[in-house]
Amino acid sequence: MNKYSIYLKAMSLALALGMVMTESLSAAVTINNSSQDLSTSSSTLLAQRRGRLGFRVGGIRPSNRRTGGISRGSFLCDGDRITTTALMPQVEAKNEKSGKLEWIPVDATTVESSPKFLVYVSQTKKPTATFILYKEIKDANGKIIDDLVYEENVALTGKSGIVSISVPDDIELEMNQRYHWYFSMECNTVQSPTDTSADASDHSYVEGWVQRIQKDPNLETALKNAGEKGHPAVYSNNELWIETVSSLADLRQRYPNDRLLQDDWQSLLESVGLERVANETLLGSLTVVSHRN
């Protein structure tokens, strides 16, 4: 065999090895890129496969329809115009007492013994607000009245946004008991911008009703299988409004850039008549200044 033949064979072997290595490297890069694409698109695929988050709003209790209920309001408080909205399921219906169409809150359910409530408050100079929790009981004549359970004054931030108020751990809601809560501001002079009458004090607060129910034994398993970001959907499927809205609010604060959570928040609030506050900032918990029970 001459030197030329040996040279040609050596070159052929080198070229073959080079092609094999190139193809292997190319395949590795392709596999790696495919893995990255699969990882980065998982949230997108999840969003495509899952429907928009919503909540099925129940009917209005006859007592709510008769007496109405302030779930949203705009008022002048000592010259300061303030808008407040309770983040509770609500429907527009006729108040049988006044004959007017109002946004009337619907009873919410929870499995928490010490739940959290969310309220939108516009920018204000008022330093504090009051949260009051009552238990509904019947008097000697069988009339339903409010019995004070807990009251606290909280410090406002001065900023416009959605705040949260939690019932303290040592105050536990009784099972299957209906509770009535208020979020109010004390004003020396109160006047609704749409009501020029002397008595417009009912516009200085928002309110809601909540009832604690027995926890479904399958709920914990469903939550575990759904993962952290799937909790709001599990709560919604179980018609637990307090947990649905509060868990989603917590997730949005922890993951502010998660577009799927932002879309869930928008669609959830739209489903219960709260689209007006869907784009407001989440400000978190308010600091308790004083309390009594």
With a cut of 90, say whether residue 179 has pLDDT above it: yes
With a cut of 50, say whether residue 106 has pLDDT above it: yes
What pLDDT score was predicted for residue 29? 41
Three-state SS annotation for the chain? CCHHHHHHHHHHHHHHHHHHHHHHHHHHHHHHHHHHHHHHHHHHHHHHHCCCCCCCCCCCCHHHHHHCCCCEEEEEECCEEEEEEECCCEEEEECCCCCCEEEEECCEEECCCCCEEEEEECCCCCCEEEEEEEEEEECCCCCEEEEEEEEEEEECCCCCEEEEEECCCCCCCCECCEEEEEEECCCCCEECCCCCCCCCHHHHEEEEEEEECCCCCCHHHHHHHHCHHHHHHHHHHCCCHHHHHHHHHHHHHHCCCCHHHHHHHHHHHHHCCCHHHCCCCEEEECEEEEEEC
Cα separation, 214 vs 217, whole angstroms: 9
Tell me the per-residue pLDDT of 233-265, one tens digit each, with 9 for 90 and over.
999 999 999 999 999 999 999 999 999 999 999
Contact 192, 228 (CB under 8 A): no
More confident residue, 216 or 31: 216
What pLDDT score was predicted for residue 81? 86
Give me the residue spans of the domains in the chain.
1-33, 62-292
User: Residue 86: beta bridge partners?
Assistant: 119
Burial (Cβ within 10 Å: 0-12, 13-18, ≥19) of residue 245? buried
Both tokens of 4, joined, read 């030329």
User: Residue 190: beta bridge partners?
Assistant: 77
More confident residue, 191 or 208: 208
With a cut of 60, say whether residue 47 has pLDDT above it: no
Residue in 83, 101, 189, 177 with CA at minimum distance from that of residue 135: 177
Full-model pTM: 0.76
With a cut of 70, say whether residue 39 has pLDDT above it: no
What pLDDT score was predicted for residue 17? 43
User: Residue 207: beta bridge partners?
Assistant: 182
Tell me the per-residue pLDDT of 147-168, one tens digit each, with 9 for 90 and over.
999 999 999 999 999 999 999 9
Maximum mean pLDDT: which of 60-69, 188-197, 228-237: 228-237
